[in-house]
Chains A and B, each alone.
Chain A
């Protein structure tokens, strides 16, 4: 009996000790890859996530409206042909299957430039909120790549002239601001490719960007049900 009691006491003490050790370890490590980031990096990340999530919420609102309209049509026995056609036009325009028009910026590139520099520029344009991009008369799509060597660039198999022009649809002030800011992509590219000149011009007049000539429907993938 007495043995049991002392064993129980030791067990209780051991339990409390274990708990303390775990609490201590937990306080010190506390989790994920996020913990490795510095405070300024984390602050940036939280702010950006907040913005991105707001955009997703707007998209949800728009999709919910679209769905409500379709349901209302069905409830009243009306057809939704117009809504379906509008949905089709939007998706085709966004993905590059149809031409689009709108204001934005033009970037003219003169002199030899590395293919990776043009790819970096496209990446930065997408990040800055570009809605549609064309290099000369080639619409940039998800699978567009820039190859070749400086002075002899290929975009999706087409040779680019020198100089060439990149036309971008999006808010002109936002695009110009993010391209030309100090330490921005234009500054970086000018430093890396001193032989090339990049001129950014805002365009308030609508530009017409062509549709892609590529077939974007995968031949080797099918919808997963």
Chain B
């Protein structure tokens, strides 16, 4: 007993003070947590499962898209190895490769630019509309239209390849491109002629876009011209439920020459 008392006496007073302070701090934190309990529980119950579900679905979507691209690559590989009726198969495969490139089903690289759009960091004035200070689907559509007109030949937004059936729409605070919900900053990658940027910046429409969106609302609009840019393959659905292919009058090798730039 006297041993214990002696030991307690031997503890420096600063340690006792610190110990008490820490105890009080721990108690305060516990009290704080208990007080905030209902609010936290509310958000975890009402919101986190939804966020978790959305994240889960997005992860699944990434896997599904990877599988689609891999399956298309396997199909292409096995088709190219087909040796039956050699001359016809060779011709068909050459046309198929060309059609896949035209359709956006193959990853491409080449000269081009990357255009970056970011939400404004400016404070929204009291009489302002907060939505004007965010990058919207309409902004992305304007930028894409300007790029096509400047001579772009292949475009992707945050890795989503634009095809003949791609829509760009606002849905609940994010932007839907193909099947993917994208959040900013948005990187629009475009393959085109080496002077693509000069052509884009010479466009009155693009100048107007920069002036109104950057000048008036502070939307971040920047660009880069890397040596080569890459646009990934379209990883979505080729939907022809109602359409019937009408094969060109002559099933001969493609009539239009693959060289020469589009008008």
A residues at B contact (CB < 8 Å): 2, 6, 9-10, 13, 16-17, 20-21, 24, 27-28, 30-46, 48-50, 52-53, 55-60, 63-64, 66-67, 70-71, 73-74, 78-81, 83-85, 87-104, 119, 123-124, 126-127, 129-132, 140-145, 147, 156-157, 169-171, 206, 208, 211, 214-224
Contacts of A37 in B (CB 8 A): 172-174
Known pairs A10-B18, A93-B243, A99-B246; A84 contacts B153 (CB<8 A): no
Interface of B is mostly: mixed
Identify the interface centre among B33, B50, B55: most chain A CB within 10 Å of its CB: B50
Q: Assess whether A71 is in contact with B22, with CB atoms less than 8 Å apart.
A: no
Contact A2 B10 (CB under 8 A): yes
Q: Would A91 and B238 be within 8 Å (CB), given that A80-B79, A214-B262, A219-B261 are in contact?
A: yes
**Number of residue pairs spanning A and B whose beta carbons lie under 8 angstroms apart:** 315
Bound CA span A2–B10, Å? 10
Measured CB to CB, the nearest residue on chain A to B69 is A63
B40 at the interface (CB under 8 A from A): yes
Question: How would residues 108 to 134 of chain B score, 1 for a CB under 8 Å from any chain A CB and 0 otherwise?
Answer: 111110000000000000000000000
Distance of A119 Cα from B140 Cα, bound (Å): 13
A-B contact pairs, 5 of them (CB 8 A): A45-B174, A49-B61, A60-B67, A100-B243, A221-B154
Identity of the chain B residue whose Cβ is nearest the Cβ of A60 in the assembled complex: B67
**Which residues of the other chain, B, contact A129 by a CB distance below 8 angstroms?**
239
Are B99 and A95 neighbours in the complex by a CB distance under 8 Å? yes
Q: Is the CB of A56 within 8 A of B61?
A: yes
The answer to whether B152 touches A215, judged by C-beta atoms less than 8 angstroms apart, is no
Kindly state the separation between the CA atoms of A140 and B168 in the bound complex, as whole angstroms.
16
B25 in contact with A17 (CB, 8 Å): yes
B44: CB under 8 A from chain A? Answer: yes
Given A42-B50, A217-B258; A101-B26 close (CB under 8 Å): no
> Known interface pairs A17-B25, A131-B241, A143-B152. Does A223 touch B106 (Cβ–Cβ under 8 Å)?
yes
Check if B54 sits within 8 Å of A45, measured CB to CB. Answer: yes
B115 CB → nearest A CB, Å:
16
> With A and B bound together, what is the CA distance between A117 and B92 in angstroms?
40
A-binding segment of B141-149, B210-218, B219-227: B141-149
Q: B237 contacts A59, CB within 8 Å?
A: yes
A85 engages B92 (CB within 8 Å): yes
Q: Are B75 and A221 in contact (CB under 8 A)?
A: no
* Pair B172/A71 contact, Cβ less than 8 Å: no
Q: A30 → chain B, closest Cβ, in Å?
A: 7
If A81-B92, A221-B110 touch, whether A131 touches B242 (CB-CB below 8 Å) is: yes
* Partner of B71 from A41, A67, A87 at Cβ < 8 Å: A67
Q: Give the Cβ gap from A102 to chain B, nearest Cβ, in Å.
A: 4
Taking CB atoms and an 8 Å cut-off, the chain B residues in 131-170 that contact chain A are 141, 145, 148-149, 152-155, 162-169
**What would 16 more interface pairs be, CB under 8 Å, given A93-B243, A93-B245?**
A13-B22, A17-B22, A20-B29, A41-B171, A46-B53, A56-B65, A56-B236, A84-B92, A88-B95, A91-B96, A142-B155, A169-B243, A171-B241, A214-B263, A217-B102, A221-B154
B4 within 8 A of A: no
Determine if A39 and B46 form an interchain contact, defined as CB atoms under 8 angstroms apart.
yes
Q: Contact at B84–A221, with CB atoms within 8 Å?
A: no
What 1/0 flags go to B22-55 for Cβ under 8 Å of A? 1001100100010000001000101110110111
Q: Contact at A102–B85, with CB atoms within 8 Å? A: no
Interface contact B242-A79, CB-CB below 8 Å: no
